[in-house]
Amino acid sequence: MIFLYYGIRYYEILKISPTLQSHKLFLKMDKLFRTTNQNVKSNISRAIKNNVEFCCQIADNKIVQGESFSYPPTAALAEWMNTLFAKELQPNPKKPGKQVTEILLVVISASETDVHVGISIPKDKTADPAYENLISEIIGSREHKSDQKDTYTLLQYTAPFPIKEQDELLSSIFSIIKKRKIYIEDKADEDEVYYGLD
């Protein structure tokens, strides 16, 4: 079960992270990640339903504590991002129609110190010139860590203001995919914005 997996992984992080020394906070973060998973998948489903070839979104993992808020530790957020793509965003053979791996997926989220990015490019698009070196253009000259898996790539880099940086990165990605004609803006559909890009 995903909950058990999270429980084991984040219990390990709990023991070493000074920001997670409360059992209540640990449970709150676990619930937060499960809720974020559902939001991410809902946005992707909406994109597929509208026949969009991509879904780029910010996954807000803000931890609210009364009137204040914080963001997950870097190690916890990195683990969540990997689990999201490895387990949650995989094809479902029981579900008819287009699968999540058949569109361009970009998920951005911020931790205490870093910006985390997960990117999945459909296998049938890897030879398409519009997608050539796409990940390199997205990350640009930023000093970063990269972990390339079979069906997705994880990027992570430190930023002085991760929340502001994730917004700027999303804006930059839209400029890139517009330039590459992956995203063709339709003025008539402005109110539906492509699609669930929270």
**Distance (Å, whole) CA 98 – CA 96:** 7
pLDDT at 53 over 80: yes
Q: For residue range 61-76, what is the model confidence (pLDDT) as tens digits? A: 988 877 888 888 899 9
- Domains identified in the chain and CATH numbers: 2-192 (3.10.310.40)
Which residues have CB under 8 Å from 17's CB, separation 6+? 73, 75, 76
pLDDT digits (tens, 9 = 90+) for 101-126: 999 999 999 999 999 999 999 999 98
Cα 130 from Cα 101, distance rounded (Å) = 17
Q: State how far the Cα of 147 lies from the Cα of 116, in Å rounded to an integer.
A: 11
Map residue 101 onto helix, strand or coil: helix
Q: Convert the pLDDT of each residue in 177-197 to its tens digit.
A: 999 999 887 654 444 444 344
